[in-house]
Structure 1
Amino acid sequence: MTSSPVRPSARALWRLLEPIHAVTYFSPEPLGALKEAGYRGFWMGYFAGRAAPLGPASAELVQALFYNFDAEHVGRALPDAWTFAPPQAALDARLRGSVATLRRVLGAGEGGAAEGVARAAELAARAALAAPLPGRPLHAANRALPVPPASEPLALLWHAATLLREHRGDGHVATLLAHGIGGRTAHVFRGLVSDTPPEVYRAARHLDDAEWADQLVVLRGRGLADAAGRLTDAGRELDRVVEATTDELAESAYDVLDDAELAQLAADLRPVAAAVVAAGEIPVKSPMGLDLTA
């Protein structure tokens, strides 16, 4: 008698899908493609690339949806980015560059990919395209984009990984908001949970020492951090609740797949994610919340 396959959790799948999506922020091919499209500097390329599914979005809309950037940071890139190149140019650049990175790190030939990659792309896309839309604005914006064909499995896989990570991210933002954790406070809270130094957030989210200290005051005021800047028991419990709720909300994206299909998806994703991480281009710790040392 054979045992039924263990159904991997949404959290386990996120840990495999996030590196695949994240090449768009850190690898040379997508960064170069955004620069060639006309965007000036890393941050203009970042905001243009991630916001492009929304159309020529305003800084206010992007700050609201991305949740954890300050207004000045976003405002230095948007809406000016759209005067250098339209959203479609950013969409083309991020997809083309991300596929080029995956092709390089996987050693896949032009126009081809291993059987496991093609199967992972098909399964991930089935989940991503059936995930619930209500309350998921960034997921919905990306889902309105054309779906790469199965004949381009690397493009389809990256697109599906992007849909699924934004679906999870939308749920995470809703959870933080429901628990009264603002976007900037969330950085400091996550930093304490994961022992990520303030320097990471200073570089990646323009969160300087003064703001870090201010957000610690907020956490102390709620009893989530102590005088020494460590999480309290209440802080650890809130982190557990936020992460568990985020995971629960993300599970709905995989309802269309049965246990065997999800187990197959996880098995096919593992070598892809491992190859991306091994390339060393994604930071070990970053504000994305995925700790590659874990």
Structure 2
Amino acid sequence: MERTPSLARRLFDRFEPVHGVVYFAPEVRAALDGLGYRGYWMGYFAARSAPLGEVPAEVVTALFYNFSPARVAKALPTAWEIAPPAEALRVRCQTAVAALHRYGVADSRHDEDVSTTADLLAKAATTTPVAGRPLFAANSALPWPSTPVEKLWHAATLLREHRGDGHIAALVAAGVSGRESNVLHAAAGAVDPEYIKRTRDYDDDEWQQCCAGLARRGLIDAADLTVTAQGRDLKQQIEAVTNTVALSAFDALDDSEIEALFAALTPITRTVIAGGDLPEMTPMGLRRDELHDDQP
């Protein structure tokens, strides 16, 4: 099997929805609200950063990269005065797994697929180095859950943070800031600009400043704010680097295991998406049109 960078992207489109229920399932929001966190974003930053412990807001801003520093500072460290990281960790896993059960992932028809996927993703996640991957490392330090569905969700979480850490490194190397990366993503047509403005907390002035900076570099057209050929090339380069360094996480799996992973994980991903909690549009730009194919 030829392991091109596109293989890593195809894997991401399959395991990210399994992890991503933690951002969209109503069980998760209700449980985080139940801890006392005020509003969606306080719960989001608390739950996702909880593996790091009670670190300063500046650390979370750096590691999450594309969020407004002001938005992070509204949530942290205040969240830890309400409920500590251990509580956020407990409810994020419990409720994400509860959502997967509700979709039918734990039904008997998926037993073999869940077991196979959980074991193979865990094998990948536990054999790849943590060096240079701070969010991946923090999640890697957590204890492994015992049940197959919990193990599946935890392994998917590890690998998505591994990929995310690599993506940030690629952006930094390309000289694209976190706030600019959202704008470039929108200019390339990967996500609706109004959606990303709302979900990543831009006012008009900041959005225009990012546009102006990208335009000065020739990455977007100053007139219509669409990506230029140079900008598209840079974005493709960033994605290629992201995929290349993400693919290394699967070095421990042989070709037959990669094939088995695709065959087992793809129907699980279809079931998660059919559950209806993941919106059609997400900041991650997930591709659903390839999920009919369970081959690498």
| TM-score (structure 1 length as normaliser) | 0.93
Code of the aligned partner of 2:100:
L
Gaps of at least 5 residues in structure 2 are: 291-296
Q: Is the partner of 1:145 in helix, strand or coil?
A: coil
Q: Which residue of 2 aligns with 1:200?
A: 195
Q: How large is the Cα RMSD of the aligned pairs? A: 1.9
Q: Which residue of 2 aligns with 1:185?
A: 180
Residue 202 of structure 2 is aligned to residue 210 of structure 1: no
Q: Which residue of 1 aligns with 2:254?
A: 258
- 1:219 is displaced (CA, Å) by 1.0
Q: Is the partner of 1:277 in helix, strand or coil?
A: helix
- 1:158 is displaced (CA, Å) by 0.4
Q: Which residue of 2 aligns with 1:125?
A: 122
Residue pairs, 1:100-249, within 5 angstroms: 100-106=98-104, 108=106, 114-149=111-146, 152-226=147-221, 227-249=223-245
Deviating beyond 6 angstroms after TM superposition, the runs of 4 or more aligned structure 1 residues are 4-8
CA–CA distance in structure 1, aligned partners of residues 283 and 257 of structure 2: 31
- 1:275 is displaced (CA, Å) by 1.3
Q: Which residue of 1 aligns with 2:36?
A: 38
- 1:109 is displaced (CA, Å) by 5.4
How many residues align? The count is 288
Instruction: Please say if residues 17 and 161 of structure 1, whose CA atoms lie closer than 8 Å, have aligned partners that are also in contact.
Output: yes
Taking only the aligned residue pairs, the percentage that are identical comes to: 48
Between stretches 38-47 and 75-84, larger displacement belongs to 38-47
- Out of 10, 14, 17, the position equivalent to 1:16 is 14
Q: Which residue of 2 aligns with 1:64?
A: 62
CA–CA distance in structure 1, aligned partners of residues 51 and 220 of structure 2: 37
- 1:5 is displaced (CA, Å) by 9.7
CA–CA distance in structure 1, aligned partners of residues 171 and 139 of structure 2: 22
Instruction: Please say if residues 191 and 285 of structure 2, whose CA atoms lie closer than 8 Å, have aligned partners that are also in contact.
Output: no
C-alpha distance 173-90 of structure 1, shift in aligned 2 (>3 A): same
C-alpha distance 113-89 of structure 1, shift in aligned 2 (>3 A): farther
CA–CA distance in structure 2, aligned partners of residues 231 and 101 of structure 1: 38
- Out of 48, 53, 56, the position equivalent to 1:55 is 53
Instruction: Please say if residues 110 and 268 of structure 2, whose CA atoms lie closer than 8 Å, have aligned partners that are also in contact.
Output: no
- 1:293 is displaced (CA, Å) by 6.1
- 1:107 is displaced (CA, Å) by 5.3
Instruction: Please say if residues 113 and 154 of structure 1, whose CA atoms lie closer than 8 Å, have aligned partners that are also in contact.
Output: no
C-alpha distance 96-85 of structure 1, shift in aligned 2 (>3 A): same
- 1:128 is displaced (CA, Å) by 0.7
C-alpha distance 293-39 of structure 1, shift in aligned 2 (>3 A): farther
Q: Which residue of 1 aligns with 2:293?
A: none
C-alpha distance 287-6 of structure 1, shift in aligned 2 (>3 A): closer
- 1:31 is displaced (CA, Å) by 1.5
- Out of 256, 264, 274, the position equivalent to 1:268 is 264
Between stretches 161-170 and 195-204, larger displacement belongs to 195-204
Q: Is the partner of 1:9 in helix, strand or coil?
A: helix
Instruction: Please say if residues 190 and 289 of structure 1, whose CA atoms lie closer than 8 Å, have aligned partners that are also in contact.
Output: no
C-alpha distance 234-93 of structure 1, shift in aligned 2 (>3 A): same
Instruction: Please say if residues 190 and 285 of structure 2, whose CA atoms lie closer than 8 Å, have aligned partners that are also in contact.
Output: no
- 1:291 is displaced (CA, Å) by 4.3
Q: Which residue of 2 aligns with 1:77?
A: 75
Code of the aligned partner of 2:114:
V
Instruction: Please say if residues 5 and 260 of structure 1, whose CA atoms lie closer than 8 Å, have aligned partners that are also in contact.
Output: no
C-alpha distance 101-245 of structure 1, shift in aligned 2 (>3 A): same
Code of the aligned partner of 2:276:
G
Instruction: Please say if residues 187 and 193 of structure 2, whose CA atoms lie closer than 8 Å, have aligned partners that are also in contact.
Output: no
- 1:292 is displaced (CA, Å) by 4.2
CA–CA distance in structure 2, aligned partners of residues 208 and 290 of structure 1: 25
C-alpha distance 50-158 of structure 1, shift in aligned 2 (>3 A): same
CA–CA distance in structure 2, aligned partners of residues 42 and 286 of structure 1: 16
| TM-score (structure 2 length as normaliser) | 0.92
- 1:96 is displaced (CA, Å) by 0.1
- 1:215 is displaced (CA, Å) by 1.1
